[in-house]
A and B are shown apart, each in its own frame.
Chain A
C-alpha cells in the first residue's frame, strides 16, 4: 500500500520485487502524475519486468485482503491497469498492476516533468 500526493494506491506484493530510495538516474515515472500533481522524490517500487513507479510513501499490509471488483465506470477510465479495490484501515485503496501502471504513467507524463 502506498500514498501519492495524499491519495491511496495499492499493488499486489508479489509484483514488487524491490523498494528503493529515490534515484533521479532511474528516471521512473511518478504516480503523482495520475492525480495531476507535480512529481516529488519518494520511494521507487520496482516490478520483476523492470518497470518502476515512484510513490511518496510505502506502507506494508501483511494480511491478505479480498479484492472488491472495480465498477465499470472506474475500470473504463483506467484501461485495464486498475484491478479492483481493497478495504483496509477503514478506507478503500485502488489496486493497480505495477507494470501496466508504470507504462501508463510513461505515456501520460508531460515531457517537461519526465
Chain B
C-alpha cells in the first residue's frame, strides 16, 4: 500500500493509539448514562441521544480484544451512512499521519485498521471508518 500524509484526529483508547480521517471526526463528546441495547455484543456499550440523533457507542478496546477503560469520552465519527462514537481515553488532536496503510489484520475489526503509521511521536493504527461502520452494522 502507498505511503500517505493526511490530517487525522489522533486519540488513544487504553494503551493503543488510533487515528480517524479528520473530515469524519465531528467532535469529541462526553456521553451521559447510556441506554443498553438488549442482545448487543459487549463492545456496543449502548446509545445516547445527541442533537436529535441516536448515537451508538463502541468500546474500541473491547472490540479489539482488550479490556474496557470505562471512559465516558468518545470521538463522534460522522459518515454519510450514519454516525458512531468510538471510546477515547486521550485525544492528541489533529495531526498528519504518515506511513503505510496496509491492513493490520486478516479478519474481524482488525481488517479495518491500517498501518504501520505514525502521528506526532506515537505509532497509530489508522481506522477505516467506512469499513468499520459496515462491519459493525452487520451485527459484529
Chain A contacts to B: CB under 8 angstroms: 4, 7-9, 31, 34-35, 68-79, 82, 84-85, 87, 91-94, 96, 101, 104, 108
Contact = CB atoms under 8 A, between A and B. Distances in A.
Interface of B: 33, 35-41, 44, 47-49, 52-56, 58, 81-84, 133, 136-140
Contact of B38 (A75, A78, A91, A92): A78
A73 B82 contact: yes
Nearest to B52: A68
A79 to B, nearest CB: 7
A87 B52 CA distance: 10
A85 B35 contact: yes
Chain A binding site: helix, strand, loop or mixed by DSSP? mixed
Nearest to B138: A76
B37 A77 contact: yes
A94 B48 CA distance: 11
A96 B40 CA distance: 13
A108 B40 CA distance: 12
